[in-house]
Amino acid sequence: MTTVNEPIAATKYATPCLPMMMGSALQPKPEPTESRHDAAAIRSIYDLNQKYEQKHAAKIWVEPALNRTLVSFQANKQRAVYRWYKYKEGFSAELVEYFLDRGKVHSGKLLDPFAGSGVALFAASARGLGAEGIELLPIGQRVIATKQLIDQHLSAADVDKLATLARTHPWTQIKTTDSLHALRITRGAYPPETANRIAQFSAYIRTETPHIADLLTFALLCILESVSYTRKDGQYLRWDHRSGRRQGKQIFDKGSIHSFDTAITAKLDQMVADLRDQGASNSLFAQPPTAHGPITLHAGSCLEILPNFSAGSFDCIMTSPPYCNRYDYTRTYALELAYLGVTEESLVDLRQAMVSCTVENREKDLIKMQPQWAKAIAVANAHPLLQMILSYLESEKQNNRLNNNGIPRMVRGYFYEMACVIQECARIMKPNAPLIMVNDNVRYAGVSISVDIILSEFAEALGFEMDSILVLPTGKGNSSQQMGLHGREPLRKCVYIWKRKK
């Protein structure tokens, strides 16, 4: 195994650094805020934030190579296998390859503690690296397991069988009285004929060999949203008016809702086409499977699992944690989680185990979880900008000026838990190994929160050197609610590069 010891920016992939300019990568002046918020406190936070931006200005720059397509899931849409299951919050395989090249990580072991659909793991494995991932949600775990199956164990006969099934639809002949397992938030999600077909398809799956059964289950998971009345919408599932569910004042129409047979045929055809395309080398990921590095998935919370890893054992971490943006994966992936048998109780447990990113997350007892995290907590306690933001949010809550009282607890939980994750990452990485993190800044109650700077300062205090914060060329606003109140203020979407201190 080799360790990485060149400066990350000094590679052939490095694009010229743009000088930091006020109003581009740095935070713009705040727009006049609605009087309901404490304008003086907002101003103080803005001023302090500016000092931090100036302190780090030489390390924060707009990186033209990092367009939104590359950093988001979009680039995977053109890529065989990666395109099958759209994990909206994922990044692209190309992004992982870009950073492996940029950091000259050619061997050893990569970790993604928030593995999602496993993009970092498969892209690294295809380069011959070993890859370990941690993922909390069963949907991500299932996507990863299926890709592993395909990568290592699938035969040409299995692919032919899928092609036959896509033509013959044997499940339509199955008689079953089974009903679909539903959660409170997924009840009535499918038109009745679709719910029936899913039940028939599931009964058919049980008659198949394990490999084919796994592939069919995966294909079904890929289409659940498209055959349902719902659409994933960040914080929750949006419901089409045809479902009969009322949701807010506005009527939502998701457009055409595919029939089950149409959708499953299209998905199976796509899978077969990709598998046969790659069949020439009998490989799904561009190289013969023998050249691939081993992949290990750890199912559960990284807050529980990271402390079990040995010190100094990873050559690279590439990850994208949940953002501090109220997105609730347990709600947006509820159709898939229900299908996978998650119960009401375990759904709540999963939500609470996530790194705090929803207003429902309760405070975690981090010291009870790991006494050594006192260090990370002290770092967060001592961070002036974070503490000023937390006091402000708390005071806005006391004065009934927040649109949700869970916001201060979520923001606090996010930063304190991420501090613990960062402490663990520093412990388990080799000297000089790079950590690459994709994350967005956020905005609450009129205050833009520099998640990038605060987490990078935590990293510096916990064993990393801050190499750079690469800013995506286009900024974006936050939720429409925030824009209505305060006007559009671009928030940085960034990739942070830190290096484990020697």
Ligand X SMILES: C[S@@+](CC[C@H](N)C(=O)[O-])C[C@H]1O[C@@H](n2cnc3c(N)ncnc32)[C@H](O)[C@@H]1O
* Residues that bind ligand X in the complex, under the rule CB under 6 A: 87, 89-91, 114, 116-117, 119, 134-137, 140, 301-303, 320-322, 329, 353-355
The DSSP H or E segment spanning 344 is helix 344-353
To ligand X, the closest distance from the beta carbon of 461 in angstroms equals: 22
Task: Give the number of other CB atoms < 10 A from CB of residue 79.
Answer: 16
Of 452, 447, 450, 451, which is closest to residue 485 (Cα–Cα)?
Answer: 447
Distance CA 342, CA 350 (A): 9
> Least distance in Å: CB of 441 to ligand X?
15
When the beta carbons of 114 and 496 are compared against ligand X, the nearer one is 114
> Is the CB of residue 107 less than 8 Å from the CB of residue 1?
yes
Q: Write down the least CB distance from residue 54 to ligand X, Å.
A: 30
- Closer CB to ligand X, residue 196 or residue 479? 479
> Alpha-carbon distance 239 to 247, whole Å?
7
Name 380's Cβ contacts closer than 8 Å, sequence gap at least 6: 386, 415, 416, 419, 458
For ligand X, the closer CB: 183 or 402 = 183
Distance of CA 296 to the CA centre of its chain: 18
Q: How far is the CB of 122 from ligand X (least distance, A)?
A: 10
**Tokens at 321, concatenated:** 């944690």
* Nearest CB to ligand X, comparing residues 110 and 303: 303
β-pairing, 434-440 vs 316-319, is parallel
Query: How many C-beta atoms surround the C-beta of residue 262 within 10 A?
Result: 13
Q: Which is nearer to ligand X, 413 or 446 (CB)?
A: 413
- Closest to ligand X by CB, 134 vs 389, is 134
Q: C-beta of 251: minimal distance to ligand X in Å?
A: 30
Unique residue bearing structure tokens 């394990």: 210
**Dist CA 142 CA 140 (whole Å):** 5
The least CB distance from residue 440 to ligand X, in Å, is 10
Tell me the residue type at 101.
D
Pairing of strands 230-233, 236-239: antiparallel
Residue keyed to tokens 């299932």: 142
Distance CA 435, CA 319 (A): 8
Pair of tokens at residue 375: 């260090």
Q: Minimum Å distance from CB 233 to ligand X?
A: 16
| Rounded least distance, CB 76 to ligand X, Å | 8
Q: What is the closest distance, in whole angstroms, from the C-beta atom of residue 318 to ligand X in the complex?
A: 8
Nearer to ligand X by Cβ, of 265 and 320: the residue is 320
User: Which amino acid is located at 438 in the chain?
Assistant: V
What does the alpha-carbon distance between residue 500 and residue 426 come to, in Å, rounded to a whole number?
A: 6
Q: What is the DSSP letter of 356?
A: S
Q: Which residue has the tokens 């870009």?
A: 98
One-letter amino acid at 313 equals S
Q: Which amino acid is at 417?
A: E
Closer residue to ligand X in complex, CB, 165/376: 376
In the complex, the smallest distance separating the C-beta of residue 220 from ligand X, rounded to whole angstroms, is 19
- Which residue, 162 or 353, has its beta carbon nearer to ligand X? 353
Is the C-alpha dihedral spanning 83, 87, 92, 93 positive or negative? negative
Residue nearest to ligand X (CB): 116
Q: Which is nearer to ligand X, 205 or 353 (CB)?
A: 353
DSSP 238-280: EE-GGG----SSS---------HHHHHHHHHHHHHHHHHHGGG
Beta strands in 257-374 (DSSP E): 295-299, 316-319
Nearer to ligand X, 26 or 100 (CB): 100
396 CB contacts (<8 Å, ≥6 apart)?
37, 38, 402, 408, 445
Nearest approach in angstroms of CB 427 to ligand X is 17
Nearest distance in Å: CB 354, ligand X: 4
Nearer to ligand X, 321 or 434 (CB): 321
